[in-house]
Amino acid sequence: MTTTADTTTRAAVLDDAHLGDIQGALGTIRLDDHGARRGLSAKVKTLLAIAGPGLIVMVGDNDAGAFATYGQAGQDYGTHLLWTLLLLVPVLYVNQEMVLRLGAVTGVGHARLILERFGRFWGAFSVIDLFVLNALTLVTEFIGITLAAGYLGLPKAASVLLAAAIIVASAFTGSFRRFERIAMALCAGSLLLVPISFMVHPAASQLAHDLVVPGLPGGSGQLATVMLLIIGIVGTTVAPWQLFFQQSYVIDKRITPRFMRYEKADLVLGIVVVIVGATALMGACAAAFAHTGAAGGFTDTAGVAHGIAADAGRVAGVLFAIALLDASIIGAFAVSLSTAYAIGDVFGIKHSLHRGVKGAKGFYAVYAALVALAATIVLIPGSPLGLLTEGVQTLAGVLLPSASVFLLLLCNDREVLGPWVNGARTNAFTAAVVGVLVTLSVILTASVLFPHITANAILDIMAGCGAAGLLAAGYALARRRTAATADPVDRTGRDSWRMPPLETLTRPVMATGRKIGMGALRAYLAVAMVLVIIKIVEVALGS
C-alpha cells in the first residue's frame, strides 16, 4: 500500500485548480489548516464551509422531471405511493456516500475512473450514456421553465433565453464561491414547497400512514400503470447524473478525506430536504385534486399549478410556479456541470469553476453548448415536449443499473480507495439495490414494448429476476468470504490516504465471470435503450 507521505505529495488530481483552500459559499478552510475541530462552534463553522455538494446534488434532483413525476403520483393516486420515497432514502445515501468517498479520496472524476480502470470500451459507453441522457434531461429542465413562465403570464421565448443566460452567466464568473452561493440560494428556494403544502392542507395522518405503509393503488388491474410510475419515481430520484456530478463537485470544492464526516452530514441534510420537498409536493397534489374531476387526469406541471390555485388560491399557484422555475434552474446547473466535468475528465482539459473562461475554454464551451442546445429544442415549434419529459424518466430508469454496477466495482478497487473500500454491509446492500434496479429496468422495457402487459407477466418477471439475483448473491458471497479471509483491509491512517497518480496504478484483471456478467448487462441495456428510443420516436410520429 502507498504510504501517507507519497499520497500527500503525489495526489491524482487532474487539474491543479482542484488543490488549495476550500472556498465554500458559507465559509473558508485554508489548505494549511490542520487543527482539530473542538467545540460546537468550530464544528458548525467547518460544516458550513463544507456544505454544498450533497445539498446541491439532492435538491437538483427535485427538478422539473421530479415535479412532473411526483405531481402525477399525487394527482392520480393521492398519497398512496409516498412509501416509495422513504424506501429510496437508504439508496440515495449509500449511492451518494460512495461517490463522495471516491471524489475526496481519488481527486479524479467518475467517468475518468471508469475509463482508466475498465478500459476505453466501458469508459466510452459510460460517457456516451451520460451525455445523451443529460442532454435530454436538460431539455426537460427548460420545459419546466416554459411551463412555469406560461402560468405566470411571461412570454415563452424571452423566459427561455433569460433563464439560459442566467444559467450560463452563473457558472462563467470564474469563482467557485460565487457559483455555489447562487446554487445555495436556489436550494433555499426549493423550500417553497413546504408552505404550499400547508396552504393546500393535506391530511397529516394520511401522509404519515402512506409514508410508512406500502400499497399499490388500483389493484391488479392497474399494476402495470402503477409500476411504470414507481419506476419513474426511482428514475427521477436516483438519477445517473447525480453520481458524476457529486464526485466531480467534491473534487472541485477541494474536499479531502479529512472532512469526510462533514460531507456526509451535508449529504444527509440534502436527502432530508429532497424527501421533505417531494413529500410536500405529492401531498399537496393529492389534497388539491382529491374529489375533483381532474383526479387521475394528469397532464403536466402547469395543470398542477392550476389545480393547486383552484383549491388554495392564486397565491399558492404562483408559489408553485416559482418553485418549479427554481427547481428547473438548479437542475439545469447540476446536469450541465456533470457533463462538462465528465468531458473535461475524460479528455484531459481544464475543468474547474475556480478557473475563468480563458483558463478552461473547453469546459465552459461544453457547459454553454448544452444549455444553448436544450433552449433551442424547447423553442422549436411542434416539439413533443411532454413526450420528451416522459422519455427521459424512462431512459434514466433503464440506464441506472449500469451506473450502479460501475460504482460498486470502483468502491471495491483497493488500488483506487485503499483503506476506504466498501465494507461487507455496504456491498451487500448495494448489490441488492442493483438487483432491484435491473428488475425494474426489465419491467420498464417490457412495459414500453408491450403496452398491454398483464399483472401476471410483471409478477413473473419479478420472480425470475429474484431467482437469478439469489443465485448471483450466493456465488458472490462465497467468493467475497474467501477473499476477505485471505486479504483483510487495513484501514489505519485513512484520513490522510489519497489515491496515487492513475498512471502508477496496476490495471485490474477482470475475472471471466465478471466479464460475462457485465457484458450481458451492457448488451441488455444497449438493446433496451435503443428499443425505448424507437418506441418514443414512433409515438412522437403518431405511428
Please check whether residue 330 is in contact with residue 59, taking contact to mean a CB–CB distance below 8 angstroms: yes
pLDDT of amino acid 347: 87
Contact at 8 Å (CB) between 303 and 294?
yes
Residue in 9, 11, 133, 130 with CA at minimum distance from that of residue 65? 133
pLDDT digits (tens, 9 = 90+) for 523-540: 877 777 777 777 667 666
Which of 246, 219, 198, 221 has the alpha carbon at shortest distance from 53?
246
Cell numbers 460565487 correspond to: 178
What is the spatial distance between Cα 212 and Cα 208, in angstroms, rounded to a whole number?
A: 7
pTM: 0.90
**Residue 97 · residue 247 · CB < 8 Å:** no
How many Cβ atoms sit within 10 Å of the Cβ of residue 320?
A: 32
Task: Convert the pLDDT of each residue in 273-326 to its tens digit.
Answer: 999 999 999 999 999 999 888 888 888 899 999 999 999 999 999 999 999 999
Q: Of 103, 66, 193, 143, which Cα lies nearest the Cα of 407?
A: 103
Write down the residue that cell numbers 482542484 correspond to: 18
**pLDDT tens across 1-50, in order?**
433 333 344 567 888 899 999 999 999 999 988 888 889 999 999 999 99
Residues 376-411: pLDDT tens digits? 999 988 777 766 776 776 777 777 777 888 898 899
Average pLDDT over residues 165-188: 95
pLDDT over threshold 90, residue 331: yes
Rounded CA gap, 401 and 471, in Å?
18
Residue 142 one-letter amino acid: F
> Band of the pLDDT at 375, cuts 50, 70, 90?
very high
One DSSP character per residue, 12-72 reads: --SSGGGSS-EEETTEEE-TT------SHHHHHHHHHHH-SHHHHHHHHHSSHHHHHHHHH
CB 49 within 8 Å of CB 57: no
Residue 81 dihedral angles phi and psi, to the nearest 5°: -110, 15
C-alpha distances out from residue 519 to 63, 333, 514, Å: 33, 33, 8
Which among 146, 192, 196 is positioned nearest to 311, based on CA atoms?
Answer: 196
Q: Which residues pair with 29 in a beta bridge?
A: 22
Q: What share of the chain is helix, strand, coil (3-state, %, to 5)?
A: 75, 0, 20
